[in-house]
Amino acid sequence: MAVHKALLIASVLAWLITPAFAQTSPPALSGNYLPQVLASSEAHRESLERLIAGKPGLPYWIRSLTRQSRYVALASEEVTVRAKPMQLFRACEAGRCEASWLRILYSADGKRGLLYIFDDKLGIKIFGDPLPEELSFLTRG
């Protein structure tokens, strides 16, 4: 009985002390790749799917972003918009990067996404109703 009591006390103390010393940092918003983030984050994936769902004429590589990673993706960049960290991704169609590319800006939790597409046949398309400050990151060269 004394052993059980000692284990219980030790467990409670460990639980109480650990949060004071443990530093859990949020995931890095820069240096990530879109295919891995879409595969591992339901929030990012669902946000992107909402943006492109039912949009006619999108190139195949864009419509299949969440299912296939047959595109060129650069490492993400952390940007700050209205004092909030956001994650900016760049990607393009393999072999046609000058002619068909996109930028996706996500909130830190991935639940809000904004999409800017340039395609030589489609033109420019913007999805997600970005604020002017967000749009400036989506349109930067």
Tokens of 120: 């030589």
First to last CA, the chain: 69
- Based on the number of CB atoms within 10 Å of its own CB, is 24 exposed (0-12), middle (13-18) or buried (19 or more)? exposed
Q: Which residues of the chain have pLDDT under 50?
A: 3-24
| pLDDT score for 140 | 86
φ/ψ region of 57 (left if φ > 0, alpha if ψ in -120 to 50, else beta) reads left
| pLDDT score for 70 | 87
Q: Are strands 100-107 and 123-127 parallel, antiparallel or unpaired?
A: unpaired
Taking only the tens place, the pLDDT of each residue in 51-89 is 999 999 999 999 999 998 889 999 999 999 999 999 999
| pTM exceeding the 0.85 threshold for the entire prediction | no
| pLDDT score for 2 | 53
